Amino acid sequence: MGKLAGKVAIITGAAQGMGAAHAKLFVSEGAQVVITDVKQAEGEQLAAALGPDKALFIKQDVASAADWEHVVAATKAQFGQIDILVNNAGITFAKPLQEISEADYIKIFQINQLGTFLGLKAVAKEMVAQHAGSIINVSSLNGLVGGAVGYTDTKFAVRGMTKAAALELAPSGVRVNSIHPGVIETPMISQAGTAEAVKQFAKAIPLRRIAEPEEVSQMVLFLASDDSSYSTGSEFVVDGGMSAQ
């Protein structure tokens, strides 16, 4: 029996990259998953590959409260409950401070920070009612140490939001933790303008390599499962040793 047998999970930003890796591992461990993303074709393809009895794709803007209401309702209608939320959706950009526009800043705030808040709020009622649940907020190494303005700001906020929510929800049996990946091989880090910087950055990683998404998924699985039953309000780092320097 898998570690997530009988569990239902919502994973945002799961059409590709880390989110897709999480979804695949969760299904292999017995969970039913709701995959959300703005990338409809990729999300539908992944859900179909995982199987209609195991996965459902919903197109979602995580910065929309109405979309969150729809995702929660559709998840309950399809699978009956919500046991796990992985707030994985996020964006970044490679711009120096003086080149970041107000529109840039608002967009990264809406997806990385507001989206996480709305997800927390949307599932909390369901989890509190059942006196159980695990919420995993994907922050970043840059939620622990400095990095690019905009991205770092939101990832520190996710870390703080996690602790505040964990304290509030703990008496109801709901756990909230943050995960802090370092440099992971995903489409987000290979976007225009970042590839060369990432290549150079990898040389400074103590383990001397960029991680694969599946390595982060194993930590997410731990936090989603009962293996982490006494962990809440904490940071779990998957960064190849970067934050230890």
* Chain segment 67-95, per-residue pLDDT in tens: 999 999 999 999 999 999 999 999 998 78
**Catalytic annotation present for 230:** no
Residue 245 lies in a domain: no
- Residue 215 inside a domain? The answer is yes
pLDDT at 35: 98
Residue 33, domain extent = 8-234
Spot the catalytic one: 117, 151, 156, 236: 151
pLDDT of residue 191: 59
Q: Which residue has the higher pLDDT, 59 or 190?
A: 59
So what's the pLDDT on residue 93? 85
Mean residue pLDDT across the chain: 95
Q: Is residue 136 part of a domain?
A: yes
pTM above 0.75, yes or no: yes
Give me the pLDDT at residue 235, please.
98
Domains: count for the chain:
1
- Is there a domain that residue 240 lies in? no
Q: Which pLDDT does position 4 carry in this prediction? A: 98
Give the domain CATH number at 194: 3.40.50.720
From the list 30, 37, 34, the residue with the least C-alpha distance to 3 is 30
Quick check: is 16 in a domain?
A: yes
Identify whether 198 is part of a domain.
yes
Indicate whether 156 belongs to any domain: yes
Cα–Cα dist 56/58, whole Å = 7
Using CA atoms, how far apart are residues 35 and 49, in angstroms rounded to an integer? 12
Contact between 52 and 244 (Cβ < 8 Å): no
Contact 140, 237 (CB under 8 A): no
CA-based max dimension of the chain: 53
pLDDT, tens digit, for every residue of 211-240?
Answer: 999 999 999 999 999 999 999 999 999 999
Q: Is the per-residue pLDDT at 60 higher than 90?
A: yes
pLDDT in tens, 165-217: 999 999 999 999 999 999 888 776 665 566 677 778 788 899 988 899 999 99
**Cα atoms in the Cβ-side hemisphere of radius 13 Å centred on 13:** 21
Identify whether 125 is part of a domain: yes
Q: What is the pLDDT of residue 186?
A: 77
Q: By percentage, how much of the chain surpasses pLDDT 90? A: 87
